[in-house]
Amino acid sequence: MNLGELQQVDSPLGLYDHPDNLFVAGFIGSPQMNLMQAVAADGKAKIGDYLVPVDPASQKKMSGKITVGVRPEAWRVVSDGDGGLPITVTVVEDLGADSFVHGSCKVEGTPSTVIVRVSERGTIHKGDVIHVTTDPRNVHVFDTDSGQRLSD
């Protein structure tokens, strides 16, 4: 529910895996989905100079301003030369088997904090700059104006 309006009815995993709109995407999950402002460009989502890969179904529906969502566990740490989104680490939240890396990104369109779940223990520290990317199947695409999901 949002302002008395039913947003989506589904199982908890259905809501998590396929949110119908930006409200549900930002509401379900802890930590919540990383939502980033982008522009549709050549079948990809462009955030600053960084191109986020998206699935073929989303490519056909995208135009103009879009919002892409990536869950913390869907990011993959890559080397600087692989062209990933640069994140400056501000906090590493060690949880035992894995960690949540909280960081900032100076790329226009990214939120003030980007959260990445990593399994590498003790290798990432406050002040480090990591680069992340994701698989197109893990990118949720939304129309920025309507908030509606474009991904299948």
pLDDT at 83: 82
Average pLDDT (22-34) is: 95
Mean pLDDT of the chain: 94
| 29 pLDDT above the threshold of 90 | yes
CB burial class (10 A; 0-12, 13-18, 19+) of residue 149? buried
Q: What percent of the chain is modeled with pLDDT above 90?
A: 80
Is the pLDDT confidence value at 138 over 90?
Answer: yes
pLDDT, one tens digit per residue, over 101-129 is 999 998 888 888 999 999 988 899 999 99
Domain boundaries, the chain: 31-143
The domain 31-143: what is its CATH number? 2.40.50.140
The confidence score (pLDDT) of residue 129 equals 97
Distances from the Cα of 131 to the Cα of 18, 26, 124, angstroms: 26, 23, 11
Tokens linked to 147: 């908030």
Rounded to whole angstroms, how far apart are CA atoms 58 and 42? 12
Amino acid residing at 43: G
Q: State the average pLDDT over residues 83-106.
A: 94
Question: Which pLDDT score is estimated for 109?
Answer: 84
DSSP helix/strand/coil, 142: strand
Write the pLDDT tens digit of every residue in 49-66: 888 989 999 999 999 999
Mean pLDDT, range 25-54, rounded to an integer:
93
- Name the residue with tokens 């640069």: 86
pLDDT of residue 1: 87
